[in-house]
């Protein structure tokens, strides 16, 4: 009995001790992480400022009273709404000190159309600021205060961040009295480019709490380095709902370089109109996933034209970086310098090809409309075997092979994917390796009968004499 007890007692002690040790270890880890957050907040806070600006405007509702002024005795007119009366509003945001001598970055929407811009430092000093330059297309602005020996934030490389990394956001949500508010979260996603907030988007998405007033504040990693500038939230209520967006540091730095040196941004230009690659087209082209940008049109004498880029090419890499979507490409190009040579990896007729392009400077007319991207996306069009007269009507050469598109349903998939009356369907098939020549309307319809609802079909479409493009459609129910 004694022997058995001697064996059991050590086991009981081990059972009792292990949970205590585990709990102590867990607590130690939690405390270490807490200390990291606290250290980062202490290091970053001196580089974060609160920005207020006033906007003066005339209330449009006041104008209707102007014509009624003379109907009242003069002594009463002072009590009537005045169409010329100025109204004032104050905007609130945050900013990031990037130099010891007072340069500060923030969002364009924080200071846009603002007057009397004030900056409150972490030590509560309030200073006037001047606008050095702003760029509405990326929502980045550069301002300056007259101060020295400030604490600039340390810069990080936003290209190296990974989804799941811990991050901290700092700013002044809702009120200047809440300045230096620190929140914690993770990087939820990178490369968000279809948010619809501005022309050039490459957002970092985070679940760190961001609210109105946080705009222009920093998003930092666990090294305390700036990886993004908080810019916007996705919310139905106007407050935090777990989805915030920050502009990557590398994009901000590129814009700020130009703003600081010349007061405006000079952008590189490729010279293509592009459209999205959907799942159906990706499958038909033999791609593993829907990615890249399909060239819909090449601007004549543009850098793309000179590099040999053709309509129908799929751009899958730019400067050794994957092109995630058609909306991603314009931003990737715009942050480069005009005159630089970059490699393009493209998919042409099912084969990979590498081109070198010398980027140009974006012309004024292109700047006015922003990035060149054609929006596309249920099946519905009719064709006929074309006569020589019909071909001539649409400016197509005699002997053009294929079937002529005679009607397209404007609410259908084909229309959204840029199939139009007067184009010619030349080839069709399940994928790029199995394309059949289309010789007549009967041949086209017979070929369609071999597909079932939900299947994808790849079409080679001739737009005019010289230009062709691929489009993938889904066979409807």
Has residue 376 got a pLDDT over 50?
no
Which residues are part of the catalytic machinery? 109, 139, 215
DSSP labels, 431-468: STTS-EE--SHHHHHHHHTT--TT-EEEEEEE-SSS-E
Q: For residues 383 and 71, which has the higher predicted lDDT (pLDDT)?
A: 383
Query: Would you state the pLDDT for residue 421?
Result: 85
Pair of tokens at residue 420:
């139009």
Q: For residues 281 and 107, which has the higher predicted lDDT (pLDDT)?
A: 107
Question: Same fold for the domain at 268-374 and the one at 381-474?
Answer: yes
CA distance 335 to 268: 7
CA distance 108 to 128: 17
Query: Would you state the pLDDT for residue 113?
Result: 76
Q: Which CATH class is domain 45-145?
A: mainly beta
Has residue 76 got a pLDDT over 70?
no
Has residue 300 got a pLDDT over 80?
yes
Query: Would you state the pLDDT for residue 197?
Result: 75
Q: Model confidence at 375, in pLDDT bands (50, 70, 90)?
A: very low
Query: Would you state the pLDDT for residue 97?
Result: 97
Domain ranges of the chain: 45-145, 158-262, 268-374, 381-474
Q: Model confidence at 61, in pLDDT bands (50, 70, 90)?
A: very low
Q: In this structure, are residues 97 and 90 in contact, taking their beta carbons and an 8 Å threshold?
A: no
Has residue 100 got a pLDDT over 90?
yes
What sign results for the dihedral spanned by CA atoms 215, 221, 223, 229?
negative
Query: Would you state the pLDDT for residue 71?
Result: 54
- Residues comprising the chain, all counted: 477
One of 2.40.10.10, 1.20.210.10, 3.40.640.10, 2.60.40.10 is the CATH number of 158-262, namely 2.40.10.10
Give the alpha-carbon dihedral of 430, 435, 438, 444, to 10 degrees.
Answer: -10
Pair of tokens at residue 9:
């007692």
Superfamily of domain 381-474: PDZ domain (2.30.42.10)
Task: Please provide the CATH number assigned to the domain covering 268-374.
Answer: 2.30.42.10
Query: Would you state the pLDDT for residue 62?
Result: 47
What is the share, in percent, of the chain residues with pLDDT greater than 90? 43
Residue spans of beta strands (DSSP E) within 136-207: 140-145, 166-171, 181-192, 203-206
- Which phi and psi (to 5°) does residue 276 adopt? -75, 150
Has residue 356 got a pLDDT over 80?
yes
Has residue 107 got a pLDDT over 50?
yes
Query: Would you state the pLDDT for residue 454?
Result: 84
């Amino acid at each position: 009995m004694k022997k058995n007890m001697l064996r059991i007692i050590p086991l009981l002690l081990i059972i009792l001790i292990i949970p205590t040790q585990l709990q102590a270890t867990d607590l130690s880890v939690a405390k270490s992480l807490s200390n990291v957050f606290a250290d980062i907040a202490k290091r970053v806070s001196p580089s974060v400022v609160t920005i207020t600006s006033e906007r003066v405007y005339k209330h449009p509702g006041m104008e209707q009273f102007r014509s009624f002024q003379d109907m009242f005795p003069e002594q009463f007119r002072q009590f009537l709404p005045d169409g010329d009366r100025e109204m004032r509003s104050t905007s609130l945001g945050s900013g990031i000190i990037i130099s010891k001598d007072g340069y500060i970055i923030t969002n364009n929407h924080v200071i846009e159309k603002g007057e009397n811009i004030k900056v409150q430092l972490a030590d509560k000093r309030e200073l006037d600021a001047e606008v050095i330059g702003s760029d509405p297309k990326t929502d980045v602005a550069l301002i300056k205060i007259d101060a020295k020996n400030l604490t600039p934030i340390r810069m990080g490389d936003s290209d190296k961040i990974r989804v799941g990394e811990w991050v901290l956001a700092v700013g002044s949500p809702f009120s200047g009295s809440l300045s230096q508010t620190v929140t914690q979260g993770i990087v939820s996603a990178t490369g968000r480019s279809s948010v619809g907030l501005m022309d050039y988007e490459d957002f970092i998405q985070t679940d760190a709490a961001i609210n109105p007033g946080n705009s222009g504040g920093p998003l930092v990693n666990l090294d305390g380095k700036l990886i993004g500038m908080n810019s916007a939230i996705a919310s139905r209520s106007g407050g935090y709902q777990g989805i915030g967006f920050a502009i990557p540091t590398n994009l901000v730095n590129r814009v700020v370089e130009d703003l600081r040196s010349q007061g405006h941004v000079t952008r590189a230009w490729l010279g293509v109109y592009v459209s999205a690659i959907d799942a159906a087209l990706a499958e038909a082209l033999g791609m593993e996933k829907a990615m890249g940008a399909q060239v819909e049109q090449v601007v004549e004498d543009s850098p793309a034209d000179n590099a040999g880029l053709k309509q129908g090419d799929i751009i899958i890499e730019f400067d050794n970086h994957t092109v995630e979507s058609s909306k991603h490409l314009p931003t990737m190009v715009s942050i480069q310098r005009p005159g630089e040579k970059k490699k393009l990896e493209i998919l042409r007729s099912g084969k990979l090809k590498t081109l070198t392009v010398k980027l140009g400077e974006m012309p004024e007319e292109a700047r006015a409309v922003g990035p060149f991207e054609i929006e596309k996306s249920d099946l519905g069009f009719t064709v006929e075997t074309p006569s020589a007269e019909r071909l001539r009507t649409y400016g197509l050469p005699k002997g053009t092979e294929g079937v002529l598109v005679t009607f397209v349903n404007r609410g259908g998939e084909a229309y959204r994917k840029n199939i139009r009356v007067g184009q010619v369907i030349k080839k069709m098939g399940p994928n790029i390796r199995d394309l059949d020549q289309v010789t007549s309307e009967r041949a086209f319809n017979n070929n369609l009968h071999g597909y079932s609802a939900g299947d994808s079909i790849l079409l080679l479409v001739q737009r005019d004499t010289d230009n062709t493009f691929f489009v993938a459609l889904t066979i409807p129910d």
